[in-house]
Structure 1
């Protein structure tokens, strides 16, 4: 089962849908970090959701989904580029050990314990020279009825209040896969209808009811094609070419060097004086970049790259 995202459109109504399944992409994330089960599930659901939302971007760039928490998990981040290359990470509170998080911890207990958690989605275009600017939407992790109970509810809340789009999501993740289904009602008449008279005003409610029959076990165990056939076999649907997803981290030695130069020579030299070198650790891919005194001198004098230190498990 390859890592793919399938888009489709209901022909008799302004409703679109997507199904994504991430196996190798998700395994690349898990190979770099050992997350507690509830954090792993939440991050996997975010990863599937990020792919689903980014598939509808109208520009070349990156969708960055962040959850800022006030519980044992301080932040979860997923980035997805237009080409469906993804990376993800989670950070814990300084005073909480990751192995102390109970397996039964809920979303609210993980990131909204004090009611101050929030979801931030940033759309960052690659080409800002042509006038395209980043856009950011922020919503709390609580609705009118209290704390939101799932990642799907959080993102439905976000799309309804920040984008004014009726959206339904079904998400699931385990140690093998991260999967998701999205249905979205488009503004206006939309649809791919041959004649206006063929519009079906009940399509949105009907397909949402069908989607609501999905269980997490079904999402995780069945292939996307099987899920689609079970749900929408009676619907008139147009499919689009599937898109492949993959893990990719955008960190590089050049980017780390540029960051050190922004800190300034005095700040960097103080770290070298204290530790003998500067070591930067990528939170996403677990790559370590090391700069010794000679590297630092070269960096600030001529901008030359220095040496790289691999994670311990990659050393020989």
Structure 2
């Protein structure tokens, strides 16, 4: 496993520590896109954050982090599934220059209309069930600050994040204060003792430098920060790139556009070309393919209809 997320607990079970450092997965995210450095840094931080948060959610489905804005970047989006496989992309707004020293506010929120959106999408929905969606204004200059604002606004557990990305790595550290009673907690821990552990964990994590987060292996990094503490370590979890796009999914998308619109595209261009925003894979539908999209299939004996996920 080249890319891993690792979890630790303080000995009194009052603070969770998680760290991730991505190399191959991050290169796969960037393989089909050339982003300016400022955008690379933002997207990489969101990718690292998605794995740290998805690892805390015990459900079968996807965590989607979206930042929508009114600046040069229209949308940053990362989808991380419960097995920590992920995909990510950026949508730029035409006619906007990307400043070299741009931060999250200047790139996404110059007009104050930016939003941070968290979506929890179950793999198997009950009838009538919708994905959960939480939306807050885009506050802070970094992805970490925006996420911490979201966690506070949605009354989540106290959480602090440190995120970084460059051309080679995307990395992050998360510390989270756990309830004193229940779950993984020591049942006799006092509120005061838990508060002291939380303060100590945050103070030590605040000494972390960006270059350390990007360049130092996780176990070494955690030892540097918490060498005086006793931590319980858990088995590492693999993180990987995954894009579920298929020709059938693209075909269903074209069907949703309607026959008239698809035929208009064919009339103008001779075919329909679709490129996946995430992995860059091209799909081509010629005139015959497009006509077949709207031709009812003849049922075959003993055949099963394909299931679209």
Q: Distance in 2 between matches of 1:261 and 1:303?
A: 14
* TM-score, normalised by the number of residues in structure 1: 0.89
Secondary structure in 2 matching 1:121: strand
User: Cα 1:197–1:34, aligned 2, differ >3 Å: closer, same or farther?
Assistant: closer
Secondary structure in 1 matching 2:175: strand
2:74 is matched with: 74
User: Cα 1:92–1:303, aligned 2, differ >3 Å: closer, same or farther?
Assistant: farther
Of the three residues 96, 101, 117, the one matched with 2:98 is 101
Q: Distance in 1 between matches of 2:91 and 2:127?
A: 35
Count of matched residue positions in the alignment of Structure 1 and Structure 2: 296
2:51 is matched with: 51
Secondary structure in 1 matching 2:67: strand
Secondary structure in 1 matching 2:294: helix
**1:102 Cα shift?**
2.5
State which drifts further: 21-30 or 128-137: 128-137
State which drifts further: 265-274 or 170-179: 265-274
Query: In the alignment, is the contact (CA less than 8 A) between 2:180 and 2:190 conserved in 1?
Result: no
Query: In the alignment, is the contact (CA less than 8 A) between 2:180 and 2:186 conserved in 1?
Result: no
1:234 is matched with: 228
Q: Distance in 1 between matches of 2:276 and 2:88?
A: 11
Q: Distance in 1 between matches of 2:6 and 2:251?
A: 39
Give structure 1 regions of 4+ aligned residues with deviation exceeding 3 angstroms.
130-133, 194-201
**1:154 Cα shift?**
0.5
Are 2:148 and 1:156 equivalent residues in the alignment? yes
Secondary structure in 2 matching 1:301: coil
Name stretches of at least 5 consecutive residues in structure 2 with no aligned partner: 299-309
Query: In the alignment, is the contact (CA less than 8 A) between 1:43 and 1:76 conserved in 2?
Result: yes
Secondary structure in 2 matching 1:77: strand
Q: Distance in 2 between matches of 1:183 and 1:95?
A: 40
1:261-289 deviation digits (Å, cap 9, x = unpaired): 12221221111111111111111111111
**1:200 Cα shift?**
4.1
1:18 is matched with: 18
Q: Distance in 1 between matches of 2:292 and 2:134?
A: 41
**1:250 Cα shift?**
1.3
**1:236 Cα shift?**
2.4
User: Cα 1:286–1:197, aligned 2, differ >3 Å: closer, same or farther?
Assistant: closer
Q: Distance in 1 between matches of 2:279 and 2:68?
A: 20
Secondary structure in 2 matching 1:261: helix
2:171 is matched with: 179
2:280 is matched with: 286
Of the three residues 121, 124, 132, the one matched with 1:124 is 121
Secondary structure in 2 matching 1:249: coil
1:310 is matched with: none
User: Cα 1:111–1:193, aligned 2, differ >3 Å: closer, same or farther?
Assistant: same
User: Cα 1:289–1:223, aligned 2, differ >3 Å: closer, same or farther?
Assistant: same
Query: In the alignment, is the contact (CA less than 8 A) between 1:11 and 1:193 conserved in 2?
Result: no
Are 2:272 and 1:275 equivalent residues in the alignment? no
Q: Distance in 2 between matches of 1:287 and 1:112?
A: 30
**1:11 Cα shift?**
2.6
Q: Distance in 2 between matches of 1:50 and 1:303?
A: 40
1:165-224 deviation digits (Å, cap 9, x = unpaired): 211000000000000000111234345437546954300011011111001011111111
Name stretches of at least 5 consecutive residues in structure 1 with no aligned partner: 143-147, 305-316
1:296 is matched with: 290
